[in-house]
Structure 1
Amino acid sequence: MPELYRRIAIVGVLLALYVAGGAYSALLVDGPDKVALFWPAAGVALAGVLRYGLKIAWFVPAGTLLVHFFFDPVPTAFLPWSASANLFGVLAGAALLRRLHAEDMLTVRFGLAALGGAVLMSVVSAAVGTAGMLHSGMIGLEALPTAGARWLLGDLLGATSIAPALMLLLPGRTGRRWRPPAEDYAPESEQLMWNVALMASYLLMAWGGSLGGNYAMGLVALPLGVMVWSAVRFPPLQTAVASALTMLLVAGLAGFGTAGYPEASAPLDGIYLLVFLIEVAALPLMLAFAMHQQRVSAGVLKLRANVDPLTGLHNRNAFEEKVRPEIAGGSVLPMALAYIDLDHLKLINDTASHAAGDELIRGVAGVIEAHRHPEDLLARTGGDEFALLLRNCTPMVAEDRVRALLRAIEGYRCGWDGQMLGTTASAGLVTFLPGQADYAQLLSQADAACFTAKEQGGNRVCLASLDGGELLDRTSAMRWVVRIREALEQQAMELYCQSIVPLRPGMDQGRHFEVLLRLRDPRTGERLQPAQFMPAAERFRLATRIDREVITRTLGWLESHPDAAATVDTCCINLSGEAVIDEGFIGFLSERLRRSHFPASKLCFELTETSAVRDLARAQRFINQLRDLGCRFALDDFGTGFCSFSYLRSLDVDYFKIDGSFVRDMHDSPMAEAVVRSINEIAHVLDKRSIAEHTETEADRRALIALGVDYAQGFAIDRPQPMDLYFYPDGSAAG
């Protein structure tokens, strides 16, 4: 019933407006055989039918009959023609506009389509109406063209001036597109000035007309200028209303011949006037639609730049823009910044699809949005990462609130293709007072704390502090990652070589050496040792990339120096533990060796004992795959994980490299000497060879010879040198 009452009320309003428009037009008609100069009811009819559909179009003939009955008497024979003319006209115009699919009325496209519909409506209405006037004897055949033109233009003026304002004022759907916020338009002070200017233009137009003159109608340019101002600076509704009021006023002045304006009684005068007024009504409206469309486009672009399309939350840039001023100061209330990262989302992407992962992210975003406090600011900052600014929040309260968020995320389930998907999240939290730290530092600390929470198993909150040592170490490691990436991109990795020499005569005749890596810092020029940057590289999964770079650079150098490569017996290259689990590493190495003329049998890859024993089965498969390529293998830092030698039968390696800590201490520690002796003896039992690292002195060398160790490496032999100098001490390397 409420909907029925609403519809009845709407039809009643439209009918009243239609009759009022018809009554106004009747006042401008100078006789029963004359056509109205201006038919505002046409605009009411077109707006109502477009707004609420063809089913309410019956108010048009009903309103027409009421106008003729009360305000504009006509011959009885003309009544059905008049009602039909207005009905068929509006139906034709509305049908054309719907066929053009111009749905958003605040666009130039809609304005042009509406103008086309108004023209068709006016043509149909004029054709039927003037035929009725001729049939009922109201006009003769000689007056038919003039009557038709005036009818057409009068309807068209009513449609162009009245319909836009009514369509925007009537309740209901106004279009699908995003609307600009109020701040995109002129302020209230300018609005007041505009109102004064519009009223002043009306008064000046009337006063100017009262002075007389043949061109008094040119003063219509005054309100036209004010309407152009409105089109540029205000919403389209304001321009539409101003256009309707202006046309009603101007048509009245001309129709009544008041304020000194001559009455448009001559046929051509009325036609010229109508064409002029149609242009005055249409041009500001088209400009208003164009300006609105421009604002919409700019707003949509801004929205896309600031809003995450998947979740509808702020993106990283918008979050930073809003948070930075608050963090810098302006408040004394405590705050907290939380960095939330979903756990193991890659498993869902790999098993259920990325679309399922996106759906889960969207659902989790909704969970966080529903559980956050209204004053908090939430954003999606990355693939599965969120940032949350908690205002007016002490450390204890902040931690409790973030824990509650993580519990809500853990309890959320997302249905996908018959499965129920869920996840957990880790969060890093840093509390602060405004002005205590900048945004970059706070975000870095929260991110570091989140990483720590993940390392501790996930689904937990780690609370950071601005001076937390462990988290500062994490931040420092992240800075190392930046430096490593820059070094890789700028080819700042440098290769050094150190000899591995036999301790007994009659062994290998060619060069046996290890390739060592140094990093030249692109910013400072400082030469960095692996111990300074490899822990960070391994922590952030850059180690395999470094492995590939070293292999590529080493093979490239040897290939470009065939005379030096011919002297090589064994070239040892270190591999990280990450290479063992990298599924693509063997493929990379196989492809690189296939393109190289340097024999794979001269390559010996070194893997640390701790990396190998972590997963013996995987390590053995890795070693076997390298052997299938023709390469040899060494177990590096041997003895550091030494609790049992039983696993050695599972690892088919060529060399055991005795860890340098035992070599250095064997003069002062009987236990260290025993370890060196034991490793060497076990190597020989297994038909392997032993290499003693960190042979620093001649005394170390003699002791190793006495123990029967096969090879030595260290400062007692030589120091690491750049590869060019290692092979060409005289600096004669050309390539």
Structure 2
Amino acid sequence: EVVLRELNPLVDRQSKAFRGNVERTVRASEGQQKLAGARRAVVGALSERIEGQQVPKLLLDLLNPGWRNLMVHTHLRNGMDSNEWRDGLAVVDQLQAQLSGASQPDSDDYIESETLLKQVVEGLNSISFEPGKRTPLVMKLSDALIGDTTGEKTEVQSVSVEVGAAAQALGLSGMLPDADPEIESDDEQERNSWETALDRARRLSVGEWLAMSDEAGKPLILSVAFVGEDYANFVLVNRKGVKVRELELKEMADGLHDGGITLLDDFDLPLMERASQRMLQNMHNKLTYQASHDELTDLSNRREFERGLSDAIKASRADGGQHMLLYLDLDQFKIVNNTSGHTAGDALLKMVGARLSDGLADAEALVARLGGDEFGVLVSDIESEGARELAQRVLGLVREQRFDWEDKHYSLSASIGLVFIDEGTADTDAAMRCADEACYAAKDAGRNRVQEYELSDSRMMRRHGVMEWVTQLDKAVEDDRLVLNCQRIAPVQNGGSNYAKSHYEILLTMEDDLGDIMPPSEFILAAETYNRVTVIDRWVVEHVLRWMAEHRDDLDSFGGFAINVSGHSINDETFPDFVLEQFSKTQAPTGKICFEITETAAIGNLDNARDFMNRMKIIGCRFSLDDFGTGLSSYSYLRNLPVDFVKIDGVFVKDLANNPGDYAVVRSINEIGHYMGKQTIAEYVENDEILAQLKEIGVDYAQGYGIEKPCRLADLKIP
């Protein structure tokens, strides 16, 4: 016992150090594998365009290394299914066509040379590319595409790129591990012997031990810590878990073939190596399991599910079979989370996960938690009618459950999207996107149902349109193409002429790829549906406070800004800290900011709304309750929210002068607001007649085209 007590800490330290070293090695190797995969994808995409033909030398100069590196980065960040990837290849196609003279200005797909050159410059500016090389290259491209002041273009030389030489032309020939090596030998017996060694190398697994020598001939005993994709490379560590060697597949096969590398059986290993082998194998098994399973529910995770989906798509193309994909979203999860807490929410997810796994055991289904309250089900080789019946069965598994937590009882239901996987399915991303659309269509149709994906369905078409906007919105945020506008909110009693007591509501628009302005109605639905609205809220807060920091001398001339905050941000526990951080960074005056929250968002997240308001009011910010008057419980909730302003919904204001009913509603809201100590703001004030009625009622502030039209924040001038 005494020996064990003294030995155990030593073993624990050894084990901990070994695990830590191997984990770092594996993470680094996985990163290198992703990079190699991205480079291989770039070579694959560009080889179709340049191999076996004459290629403009200027294009090759651009590709190696500038545009090549841009495409690699794009693959790593966005993937091959992204607009950025397609845009990068489109630039290559257009350059090749114009530089070779194959595309003329009257061609349907022709891009103006100035626009094309601008895209090249923007792309190169987005990566680390030596200015000393970039500027001369851009000038040469300009001379070839646009010409000099007289329009004379320089002649472009072409270079022949042989079949199989794309990697070399792109400067990547030595950076891609070869997953299918060959031996150069005319001796058939030697070739067969080498191929046997190659086969054994491809069967190496993590944890196996090898004996070899270093450059000085010193013997080494190393273990396989990482095996690359398609067995293209192997990372070897010593007994401390420190990386010693990295071999490509051909090097491993050569070593096994000529005896420079020897596989060690367990009985050949010293005691410490045997212990390390078991430890490494156990750790590998654990890491592999963690990488493919959801920690909370113990189901497969999204990555493993998409791998299974990819295999199903490949199988369909090979044998013409049909498979079923279900995308399930719990309808009550947010209610449980908001009323009983996150612990209850986790317990609900675990219960539903176990229910799905047990209930579908006979169907040999792959069940996964995809994230949040979303689950996926994949069933192979199933007929259409059987798939529809199984989808209804899955819905029943959820619906039959009741979730009890402390003194609360919840009935459950789900919205499910159904997609058939067949030989026509494009890829994993497309299948998941269709399933997601179908799931949201089920929600739109009333929840608690299965919606089969059909592009001809009008709901699918609407949802598909929303998802198209998501891609544009993401790119607009990345490219800084959101535009801040503002509209004055003026005191009513002096006819709106008092600027010192006026403040401005921040309004958002977006520029599309061509620089045209898109109204918020086009993209806000997409932002709210696909969880982009918190990103937008943060962008607005950051940029408004930055403007205030840059225009400190103007801030005393008016009352400040009103910034809209969505329900999503109210429900985001990190959002208040983000706002405080921005105030600290910019030193913008907190008393000049008023946050606008819609009545619906505030009531839907009452506790979170109150918490956010209280934290912001402590530092001096004010609050406005937007679109007031259309909710079911407006007045009862008003007393519970520490707002400074009540914004009367424009639906009651725009016909105020001609509709006695609207007049009565506005007067009622104004009186109740004043009774509770709030100031009132009327929206949609389009003319002097409405303004006169508001003055008669006693409304405090007015906003609308009758007061002042919106302008860009960058153009704001305070008299």
TM (normalized to structure 2)? 0.51
1:492 maps to what in 2? 481
Indicate how the Cα distance of structure 1 residues 427 and 609 shifts in structure 2: closer, same or farther if over 3 A, else same.
closer
The answer (yes or no) to whether the contact 2:367–2:378 under 8 Å persists in 1 is yes
1:339 maps to what in 2? 327
Q: What's the offset of the Cα at 1:725? A: 1.2
The answer (yes or no) to whether the contact 1:380–1:387 under 8 Å persists in 2 is yes
Match status 1:627 vs 2:617: yes
1:546 maps to what in 2? 536
- Describe the SS at the equivalent of 1:315: helix
Note the alpha carbon deviations across 1:647-681, whole angstroms, 9 max, x for none.
43333332222222221112332101221222223
Match status 1:711 vs 2:697: no
Pairing partner for 1:570 from 551, 560, 573 = 560
Indicate how the Cα distance of structure 1 residues 591 and 336 shifts in structure 2: closer, same or farther if over 3 A, else same.
closer
Q: Which has a greater percent of strand?
A: 2
Indicate how the Cα distance of structure 1 residues 705 and 623 shifts in structure 2: closer, same or farther if over 3 A, else same.
same
Q: What's the offset of the Cα at 1:398? A: 0.8
- Taking only aligned residues, the RMSD between alpha carbons, in angstroms, comes to 5.0
Structure 2 counterpart of 1:473, one-letter code: R
Q: What's the offset of the Cα at 1:630? A: 0.9
- Describe the SS at the equivalent of 1:429: strand
Structure 2 counterpart of 1:703, one-letter code: Q
Match status 1:637 vs 2:602: no
- Describe the SS at the equivalent of 1:650: coil
Match status 1:449 vs 2:449: no
Match status 1:533 vs 2:498: no
The answer (yes or no) to whether the contact 1:512–1:571 under 8 Å persists in 2 is no
The answer (yes or no) to whether the contact 1:231–1:288 under 8 Å persists in 2 is no
Match status 1:473 vs 2:462: yes
Distance in 2 (CA, whole Å) between partners of 1:707 and 1:549 is 38
The range that moved more, 704-713 or 379-388, is 379-388
Q: What's the offset of the Cα at 1:367? A: 4.5
Q: What's the offset of the Cα at 1:722? A: 0.7
Q: What's the offset of the Cα at 1:400? A: 1.5
Note the alpha carbon deviations across 1:241-269, whole angstroms, 9 max, x for none.
xxxxxxxxxxxxxxxxxxxxxxxxxxxxx
Distance in 1 (CA, whole Å) between partners of 2:698 and 2:626 is 19
Structure 2 counterpart of 1:683, one-letter code: G
Pairing partner for 2:713 from 701, 723, 731 = 723
Indicate how the Cα distance of structure 1 residues 518 and 316 shifts in structure 2: closer, same or farther if over 3 A, else same.
same
How many residues end up aligned between the 2 structures? 447
1:652 maps to what in 2? 642
Distance in 1 (CA, whole Å) between partners of 2:700 and 2:180 is 85
Distance in 2 (CA, whole Å) between partners of 1:640 and 1:658 is 9
Pairing partner for 1:503 from 492, 505, 515 = 492
The answer (yes or no) to whether the contact 2:571–2:605 under 8 Å persists in 1 is no
1:513 maps to what in 2? 503
Distance in 1 (CA, whole Å) between partners of 2:478 and 2:450 is 35
Indicate how the Cα distance of structure 1 residues 581 and 381 shifts in structure 2: closer, same or farther if over 3 A, else same.
closer
Distance in 1 (CA, whole Å) between partners of 2:353 and 2:563 is 46
- 5+ residue gaps, structure 2, are 1-178, 202-254, 266-280, 403-411
2:656 maps to what in 1? 666
- Describe the SS at the equivalent of 1:645: helix
Pairing partner for 2:580 from 582, 585, 590 = 590
Note the alpha carbon deviations across 1:374-411, whole angstroms, 9 max, x for none.
xxx848584574352543512x3212223445667899
1:685 maps to what in 2? 675
The answer (yes or no) to whether the contact 1:500–1:512 under 8 Å persists in 2 is yes
Pairing partner for 1:483 from 472, 475, 480 = 472
Pairing partner for 1:603 from 593, 607, 613 = 593
- Describe the SS at the equivalent of 2:654: helix
Structure 2 counterpart of 1:624, one-letter code: N
The answer (yes or no) to whether the contact 1:231–1:285 under 8 Å persists in 2 is no
Structure 2 counterpart of 1:494, one-letter code: V
The range that moved more, 614-623 or 707-716, is 614-623
Q: What's the offset of the Cα at 1:703? A: 2.8
Distance in 2 (CA, whole Å) between partners of 1:445 and 1:224 is 53
The answer (yes or no) to whether the contact 1:315–1:379 under 8 Å persists in 2 is no
- Describe the SS at the equivalent of 2:456: coil
Distance in 2 (CA, whole Å) between partners of 1:658 and 1:309 is 50
Note the alpha carbon deviations across 1:207-258, whole angstroms, 9 max, x for none.
xxxxxxxxxxxxxxx997476356456669xxxxxxxxxxxxxxxxxxxxxx
1:401 maps to what in 2? 390
Distance in 2 (CA, whole Å) between partners of 1:622 and 1:630 is 13
TM (normalized to structure 1)? 0.50
Distance in 1 (CA, whole Å) between partners of 2:430 and 2:694 is 52
Distance in 1 (CA, whole Å) between partners of 2:585 and 2:437 is 42
The answer (yes or no) to whether the contact 2:562–2:594 under 8 Å persists in 1 is yes
1:82 maps to what in 2? none
Note the alpha carbon deviations across 1:110-137, whole angstroms, 9 max, x for none.
xxxxxxxxxxxxxxxxxxxxxxxxxxxx
Indicate how the Cα distance of structure 1 residues 692 and 342 shifts in structure 2: closer, same or farther if over 3 A, else same.
closer
Structure 2 counterpart of 1:525, one-letter code: G
- Describe the SS at the equivalent of 2:515: coil
Distance in 2 (CA, whole Å) between partners of 1:620 and 1:318 is 43
Q: What's the offset of the Cα at 1:455? A: 7.8
Structure whose alpha-carbon radius of gyration is higher: 1
Q: What's the offset of the Cα at 1:445? A: 2.3
Structure 2 counterpart of 1:372, one-letter code: A
1:71-110 maps to which residues of 2 (within 5 A)? none
1:135-534 maps to which residues of 2 (within 5 A)? 225=190, 228-229=193-194, 231-232=196-197, 286=259, 308=292, 315=304, 318-319=307-308, 321-325=310-314, 331=320, 336-340=324-328, 351=343, 367=358, 370-372=361-363, 378=366, 382-383=370-371, 385-394=375-384, 396-405=385-394, 427-431=416-420, 434-435=423-424, 440-451=429-440, 461-505=450-494, 510=500, 512-521=502-511, 523-534=513-524
Structure 2 counterpart of 1:493, one-letter code: L
Pairing partner for 2:691 from 691, 701, 705 = 701
Note the alpha carbon deviations across 1:477-510, whole angstroms, 9 max, x for none.
3333333333333322211111112222399651
The answer (yes or no) to whether the contact 1:445–1:472 under 8 Å persists in 2 is no
Distance in 2 (CA, whole Å) between partners of 1:412 and 1:693 is 47
The answer (yes or no) to whether the contact 1:586–1:625 under 8 Å persists in 2 is yes
Distance in 2 (CA, whole Å) between partners of 1:633 and 1:349 is 27
The answer (yes or no) to whether the contact 2:485–2:509 under 8 Å persists in 1 is no
Q: What's the offset of the Cα at 1:634? A: 1.6
Distance in 2 (CA, whole Å) between partners of 1:378 and 1:439 is 15
Q: Which has a greater percent of helix?
A: 1
Q: What's the offset of the Cα at 1:557? A: 0.4
Distance in 2 (CA, whole Å) between partners of 1:283 and 1:323 is 36
Note the alpha carbon deviations across 1:531-588, whole angstroms, 9 max, x for none.
2222332333333332222121111101111222221223222222233333223333
- 5+ residue gaps, structure 1, are 1-183, 187-196, 198-221, 237-281, 414-422, 730-735
Q: What's the offset of the Cα at 1:426? A: 5.9
